[in-house]
Amino acid sequence: MSERATAGPDCGRPLGQAWPAPWARRWRRWLPPGYRDVLLAFGFVVGDTLLTLSHGSWWPQRPGTVAWFLLGLQVLVDAGLVLRRRAPLAVLGAVTAYTVLVTVLVSTGSTGGRPGPWTVWAPVAAVLVAYLPVAYPAVRRPGWVLVGLLTLVSARIWDPSAAVVTIAVLRTTLGPLLALYFGARHRLVSVLRERAERAEREKYLLAAQARADERARIAAEMHDVVTHRLSLMVLSAGALRVRARDEETRRSAEELRAAGCQALDELRDLVGILRMTEDAERPAVGDLATLVAESESVGIRTELAQVGDPGRASPVVGRTAYRVVQEALTNVRKHAPGASVSVEVRYDTDRVGVRVTNTAPAGPPDPALAGSGSGTGLAGLRQRIELVRGTLSAGPTSDGGFEVVADLPAYVPTAAPAVEPVREPTPETTPGTGPKTTEAVR
């Protein structure tokens, strides 16, 4: 789900943040919240002052000292709207207390004369503060009590007038109604956005299933056609080696048979990859721990360090990192007996780094074990890493050990076209100086 700000009456945020996300982002970018509050408070100060002085509110015909004092207090109360986000209950209480004070002083004639009975004496700022209990659940109960008191005093129920009651009720209900509307609108937009994202995820899953089916079909075709022809080639080369009369022909037939066997092994590995689903390709965190445990079970001290979240790596990258660790540990067992190994896998935001380092071997390797394999492991491993647009470096360290370092992108789309790797000949390392990474990847 994409990150988006939630607002409205259920989360206690200001009314403006309940707008649809694009408009809200533009509004916040054009005018930050602090400047909006100042501008809004200034507008209410000017509006209430002009309305009062034009006798549209409680201002008397012959204003006295008390009237001018109330006018200055009204300016301060309106200016306090800049604090409505930090202290909503205090701002609502200040407007209510001011309305009560004005009502008492105007009703007793202390302001220098009583205005017309059709005017509402509460400031227009009541429209803004009346929505605070809806937008801020923490002050909901005392806030509604203050809004109720503000409505009763503004409507002057002890001296009812249809015009005054109507204007007062509209003034204190318009804000909550707008807050409820924008909150409902925001929730509706969120639901629609969630449905769109769910539909997009379902579309992606269907595409992934189609890719998996296509991969399985390609794997079946390769197994039925290519494997059959390669098997015939290997058998023919073996028969030629047996029937050949001269040594040179027998040697050439044996090389042809060995190349065919190697091709069958690589094809078998490729068919296995194609038959795997994307979920199966992602090695779990426990898989690396299993590799480490296997090495320790045969007497090789191995330490594993994983930094970051493995979930950042896409399935193909996770499988490739797993193969790098597997191949490096296999070569340590073959070519560096008695060495200790350090495995570090780092999952960054956009890269995955794999580093396998072993110390110098404690003794010479077993010739039979070291000589097993086809000798193309490093080239095959580099080709696999280049397919996901990564890099591989391997070589001896200054202390006589060996180090394998792979740098991979964190995410590789499954449907992205593979980059044809550059095939370069790689010299084999000297046995006994570290893991011989030329072993075939199985």
For residue 255, tell me if it sits in a domain.
yes
Structure tokens at 364: 């010479």
User: Domain ends where: 275, 298, 322?
Assistant: 275
Q: What pLDDT score does 433 carry?
A: 40
Same domain membership, residue 121 and residue 103: yes
Cβ proximity of 134 and 180 under 8 Å: yes
Please name the helix (run of DSSP H) or strand (run of DSSP E) that holds residue 407, with its range, or none: strand 402-409
For residue 4, tell me if it sits in a domain.
yes
Confidence of residue 378 (pLDDT cuts 50, 70, 90): low
Given a cut of 90, whether residue 204 has pLDDT beyond it is no
Same domain membership, residue 288 and residue 263: no
Same domain membership, residue 297 and residue 241: no
Phi, psi (5° rounding) for residue 72?
Answer: -65, -40
Same domain membership, residue 130 and residue 12: yes
Cβ proximity of 117 and 168 under 8 Å: no
Residue 435's contacts (CB-CB under 8 Å, 6 or more residues apart) are: 328, 330, 331, 332, 334, 335, 336, 356, 358, 402, 404, 429
Angle value at C-alpha 289, between 354 and 296, nearest 5 degrees: 100
Structure tokens at 139: 């002050």
Same domain membership, residue 248 and residue 334: no
Confidence of residue 358 (pLDDT cuts 50, 70, 90): very high
Same domain membership, residue 295 and residue 260: no
Cβ proximity of 356 and 300 under 8 Å: no
In DSSP terms, which residues pair with 347 in a beta bridge?
A: 352
Q: What pLDDT score does 73 carry?
A: 92
User: Domain ends where: 225, 241, 275?
Assistant: 275
Same domain membership, residue 251 and residue 329: no
For residue 416, tell me if it sits in a domain.
no
In DSSP terms, which residues pair with 396 in a beta bridge?
A: 402
For residues 347-358, average pLDDT: 91
Same domain membership, residue 327 and residue 260: no
Same domain membership, residue 130 and residue 15: yes
CA distance 250 to 131: 94
Q: What pLDDT score does 281 carry?
A: 46
CA nearest 318: which of 209, 216, 412, 392? Answer: 412
Residue entry with tokens 């007793």: 108
Q: What pLDDT score does 381 carry?
A: 81
Same domain membership, residue 288 and residue 266: no
Confidence of residue 273 (pLDDT cuts 50, 70, 90): low
Confidence of residue 24 (pLDDT cuts 50, 70, 90): low
Q: What pLDDT score does 244 carry?
A: 83
For residues 390-396, average pLDDT: 90
For residue 342, tell me if it sits in a domain.
yes
CA distance 121 to 98: 10
Q: What pLDDT score does 356 carry?
A: 93
Q: What pLDDT score does 371 carry?
A: 59
CATH of residue 334: 3.30.565.10
For residue 417, tell me if it sits in a domain.
no
Q: What pLDDT score does 276 carry?
A: 62
Q: What pLDDT score does 67 carry?
A: 85
Q: What is the 3-state secondary structure (H, E, C) of 148-189?
A: HHHHHHHHCCCCCCHHHHHHHHHHHHHHHHHHHHHHHHHHHH
Same domain membership, residue 323 and residue 199: no
Domain interval for residue 210: 1-275
pLDDT in tens, 84-138: 888 889 998 899 999 889 888 888 877 766 666 677 888 888 888 888 888 888 8
C-alpha R_g of the chain: 39
Number of domains the chain contains = 2
User: Domain ends where: 240, 275, 310?
Assistant: 275
For residues 221-236, average pLDDT: 74
Confidence of residue 442 (pLDDT cuts 50, 70, 90): very low
Own/partner contacts of 136-144, CB < 8 Å, gap of 24 or more, are 136/12, 136/88, 137/9, 137/10, 137/11, 137/12, 138/12, 139/88, 139/89, 139/92, 142/89, 143/88, 143/89, 143/92
Q: What pLDDT score does 31 carry?
A: 62
Q: What is the DSSP string of 275-307?
A: HS-HHHHS--HHHHHHHHHHHHHTT--EEEEEE
High-pLDDT (> 90) share of the chain, %:
9
> Which of residues 112 and 440 earns the better pLDDT score?
112
Residue ranges of the alpha helices (H) in 109-161?
126-129, 132-135, 140-155
| Pairing of the two strands 351-358 and 302-307 | unpaired
For residue 420, tell me if it sits in a domain.
no
Same domain membership, residue 147 and residue 294: no
For residue 137, tell me if it sits in a domain.
yes
pLDDT in tens, 133-168: 888 888 888 888 888 898 888 888 888 788 888 888
